[in-house]
A = this chain, B = another copy of it.
Amino acid sequence: MTRLTGLFLSVFIGVYSFSVSAAEWQALPDAAPAPADNPTTPEKVELGRLLYLDPRFSSTGTVSCNSCHNVMLGGEDNRAVSMGVHGQTGGRSAPTVWNSGFSSSQFWDGRAATLEDQAKGPVTNPIEMGMNELEEAMNRVRDIPGYRPYFERAFPGKDPMTVDNAARAVAAYERTLITPDSAYDRYVKGDKQAMSEEQVRGMKSFADAGCTACHSGPAFNGPTMAPGTGFFMKFPTFADSDDVKKYQLADDTGRFTVTGEEADKFMWKVPTLRNITLTAPYFHNGAVGTLDEAVRVMARVQLNKDLSDEQVTDIVAFLSALTGEFPEQPMPRLPATPGRSIIK
């Protein structure tokens, strides 16, 4: 499957990079698709928001989903690599949670097919939230009396307080974290004043340079695909670029670390470019500090092109048009454990 996808993509790029037309620029849908077994409901979203923001399900009680995927910022932490419990860091930069519902796989290497699967990963990662097992985290949730009514409302039926339901709620919440109505969206819907001249020039340069070969679709993370499919591309493609060494771009083999298949070496999920101006530093290892430089490096290592200063400026301006409207949300009260703490 993966190998076929890779093969398909090689062909796909060849065709696609020469065929970007106005019709292919897509606005962000108003809602992220949900799997059939987890329709998004207000009750799940409300519960999911609590779980997402609650730091008590990490070993130290200090790290929540929001710690590394901060919804008050660009959906991540503006760090090269995130910092989990006890100040530990890993090798990859936190992807943004904003519009993650439009991705057909999760994590940089696509090792989770859905947001539901993804939500379970960091909890037991020893350098992220550091719990020993998911049931240990779930026992903390169960130990907070105020969570029960939220679970009962979100998942009517017997024994609603399960790991799977907690993950479903978090995923449902994340599917509401979408940012429509960017200048770009208004532009492609017909408001030709929505983007500046510079941004319009940048949009053309972006397509002409070939960026849309991978960064296509409404979220600029590839075409809309079935959940679990994953849209992967090789990075770096031009591995002898000086940038590869300078920014250690080939130190991590990407999807190969998950599948062990040769064809997956240096294959990476194509990340969304929505709100990309908010999520510096850039790339899977966070090694590139600025968006200007990220655009230059991408052109060199993926397209073997040296962009002019003007092209870079225009493309960066265009990318800033992908910053959307962030939905207002309340700051919730997290349920209490009266008279005691569940953090040891």
Contact = CB atoms under 8 A, between A and B. Distances in A.
Contacts of A289: 340-341
B341 A280 contact: yes
A77 interface: yes
Interface in A60-83: 60-62, 67, 70-74, 77-79, 83
A127 to B, nearest CB: 11
Contact of A334 (B72, B79, B86, B343): B72
A320 interface: yes
A291 B72 contact: no
Contacts of A71: 331
Query: Contact size class for A?
Result: 35 or more
B61 A77 contact: yes
B291 A339 contact: yes
Given A72-B333, A330-B331, A339 B87 contact: no
A338 interface: yes
Given A278-B336, A328-B330, A338-B278, A72 B60 contact: no
A292 B60 contact: no
A340 B72 contact: no
Contacts of A334: 70, 72-73
Contacts of A88: 87
Interface string A209-252: 00000000000000000000000000000000000000000000
Contact of A86 (B72, B79, B87): B87
Interface in A277-298: 277-278, 280-281, 289-292
Contact of A338 (B54, B62, B70, B277): B277
Given A53-B72, A61-B78, 12 more contacts: A55-B70, A56-B78, A60-B87, A62-B77, A78-B337, A78-B343, A278-B336, A280-B337, A281-B341, A290-B340, A326-B333, A330-B330
> Which 7 residue pairs of A and B lie closest in terms of their CB atoms, listed nearest first?
A291-B339, A86-B87, A87-B87, A78-B341, A280-B341, A277-B338, A331-B331
